[in-house]
Structure 1
Amino acid sequence: MWQCSDKVQDHFLNPRNVGVLEQADAEGQAGTIAFGDALKIAIKVDPDSGVITDARFKSFGCGVSIAAASALTEIVIGKTIDDASAVSDADIVDYLGGLPDDKMYCAVLGQEALQTAIAHYRGQNGADTSETICKCFPARKAFLERIIRANKLTVPSQVTNYTKVSGGCQSCKKPIEALLAEVNAAMVEEGVLAAADAYQAPMKTPHFMPAKFQMNGNGAPVKPNGVTEANGKSIGPGIARPNAAPTGGQEAQPTPQGMAAFAKLNPQERIEVVSKAIDELRPHLKADGGDCELVEVKENTAYVRLTGACMGCQMASVTLSGVQQRLIEKTGMPLRVVPVQ
């Protein structure tokens, strides 16, 4: 697990320049409270020298977001507007002694808020009117392209770490992959990225793929005669493989057998059953940089602790709901999942 640097800890526990800046010359903000992280930066500029004489911030977010905003104000105070405009998210990360991959967006948030404040000071609109790529974490095409270029991102997960996009419903996954491949290709042509490092978007299944390799809508192999397979057994032409999880908004419900069996279990046996079910789900969460640990089971309530990328994530409630549904589905028991710190 990542151990925060002394500077991150210091700027979190003792943040500098917090609060309202009276008679500020410009303000800028980035992020939204609705999506978990928001930051406002205010600056005061000497009209003769163009030097930023003071800066204040107000932050809504995790400890790393607070530390990054605090560090940013320390970096820009004393710089001219022109020099401050050149401050990058990488500069914030370096100042703090490094950040984990899944917290890089904290530095990006600070840099975006600063750029907005500088644009405000210069009398520029600065609004990004390009196409919105991600709706869960509002991000536009121009912003994503800028982050990809500035940090030479070549993997979709890196884009998520730096911007949070595709961290929600993932409906934007393919557009982000396409944009990453497009920007990387342009960077290769410009000579700023090696061709071997450039991202290649996954190829679509061609319509002429031989029948024995085709998949049905649920991912099950389709035999040449159109018969699909489920659990190794033929189930008839055009019949889809049963899904591994409820779809179409249908929630898993406890079964009578499961409820009866659950009622007969003693406390230790309940813990063992729930623990086993959670262990089967953990690889899927770990693949996304998170994890879920069972803390305790009382009656029909499982108390769990989210860690890694899941901890503090604004989509944690969705993750918990998914875990609860999968536990009910696997055990048939009337389980409720509650998070603990």
Structure 2
Amino acid sequence: MWDYTDKVLELFYDPKNQGAIEETSEPGVKVATGEIGSIACGDALRLHLKVEVESDKILDARFQTFGCTSAIASSSALTEMVKGLTLDEALKVSNKDIANYLGGLPEAKMHCSVMGQEALEAAIYNYRGIPLASHDDDDEGALVCSCFGISESKIRRAIVENNLTDAEQVTNYVKAGGGCGSCLANIDDIIKSVQQESAKSPLNGHSAKTTTDIASSKQRPLTNVQKIALIQKVLDEEVRPVLIADGGDVELYDVDGDRVKVLLQGACGSCSSSTATLKIAIEARLQDRVSKNLIVEAVEPSLR
């Protein structure tokens, strides 16, 4: 039997916000829906958000899920967490936040919290009218796990965001490798590749620490010079290649305390999803690699 926390069991036996939100044509309010997973794979989640258009605030959230105890509890927890948040604030909710809200999940059930995070992102992007192809790269690149339809990009994201170090952990987070097992060797190779990439180009050529090690060090807080250098490093190595591939780019403009000012260029500077680019592609990555307190803002080209 799984060792569930009291909070997990509470939300399983008495789930909050279960059901759908119907579109009622209420003035100034819209309903957004995001779906993730499939019944064939064992877990599926449909998330409904009721959004106040003028303020971008989530007025209500409900879920429909097919899955285990952890899936129901994670979905219920997510709806409680996002009510009252703006869409940009909700985009910052990670799978680790969901698990922490529940007091922890068995590692083999962490994929349920990942499913919640992905459904939330899908709902918000759908609300903003952003095509799936412009933000969801799970269908791009090689398919690694044919049993569950998991691509290399999704596996890489799980490894980076959750600091995974072995194939068993990857299976726990995204299910890849949990079927026939024939892809486990490929998953090991992906893990090694991610670790090698994060170990490249030590800061200023003097330290062997990865960006994650430096950012998470509590013994030596970053000086302002180190913070700026690390922000530039993350932008150059992890953010810009992704944006450039989509016809955009980003330039570091200024760092004022925890406020990071950037200049969006190319397609990123003119597309309707520029806010999502700031929060998902840039701010979330910098918060994970440098400091959770960082806030990223875009500056107008005329201010340069």
Q: Give me the TM-score of the superposition, normalised by structure 2.
A: 0.61
Aligned residues: 195
Correspondence for 1:176 among 157, 162, 187: 187
Q: What is the DSSP-based 3-state SS (H/G/I as helix, E as strand, rest coil) of the residue aligned with 1:102?
A: helix
Confirm whether residue 160 of structure 1 aligns to residue 179 of structure 2: no
Higher relative contact order (CA 8 A, sep 6+): 2
Match of 2:34 in 1: 28
Cα deviation for residue 3 of structure 1 reads: 2.8
2:148 to 130, 133, 137: 137
Partner residue, 1:288: none
2:19 matched residue in structure 1:
19
Give the Å deviation of 1:193: 4.8
Are the equivalent residues in 2 in contact too, given 1:152–1:193 (CA < 8 A)? Answer: no
Residue correspondence of structure 1 range 48-67 to structure 2 within 5 A: 48-67=54-73
Query: Is the partner of 1:98 in helix, strand or coil?
Result: coil
* SS of residue paired to 1:16: coil
Q: Is the 8 A contact 1:72 1:92 kept in 2?
A: yes
Deviations 1:156-199 (A, max 9, x none): 111011111101111211221111111121122272356xxxxx
The one-letter code sitting in structure 2 at the alignment partner of 1:137 is F
Write the distance in 2 (CA, Å) between the matches of 1:85 and 1:122. 13
1:192 and 2:211 correspond: yes
Post-superposition CA distance 1:283-322 (Å, at most 9, x none): xxxxxxxxxxxxxxxxxxxxxxxxxxxxxxxxxxxxxxxx
SS of 2:211's partner is: coil
1:137 Cα deviation after fit? 1.0
Structure whose CA Rg is larger: 1
Contact 1:30 1:40 in 2 (8 A): yes
Name the counterpart of 1:41.
47
1:1-341 alignment runs, 5 A limit: 2-23=2-23, 25-126=31-132, 127-128=136-137, 129-130=139-140, 131-189=142-200, 191-193=210-212
Displaced runs of 4+ in structure 1, greater than 3 A?
A: none
SS of 1:21's equivalent?
A: coil
Unpaired stretches in structure 1, ≥5 consecutive residues: 195-341
For residues 34 and 100 of structure 1, the distance between their equivalents in structure 2, rounded to whole angstroms, comes to 22
Deviation at 1:121, TM superposition (A): 1.2
CA RMSD of aligned residues (A): 1.7
- Do the aligned residues in 2 keep the contact of 1:184 with 1:193 (CA within 8 Å)? no
Structure 2: distance between partners of 1:78 and 1:134: 37
Q: Which runs of 5+ in 2 are unaligned?
A: 24-29, 202-209, 214-304
* Cα distance in 2 for residues equivalent to 1:3 and 1:177: 28
For 2:153 and 2:117, the matched residues in 1 are separated by 15
- C-alpha distance in 1, partners of 2:187/2:36? 20
User: In structure 2, how many angstroms separate the alpha carbons of the residues matched to 1:192 and 1:36?
Assistant: 36
Range 142-151 or range 66-75, more displaced: 142-151
Matched to 1:192, the amino acid is T
C-alpha displacement of 1:25: 2.2
Higher helix fraction: Structure 1 or Structure 2? 2
Once residues 18 and 145 of structure 2 are traced to their aligned partners in structure 1, the CA distance between those partners, rounded to angstroms, is 30
Secondary structure in 2 matching 1:49: coil
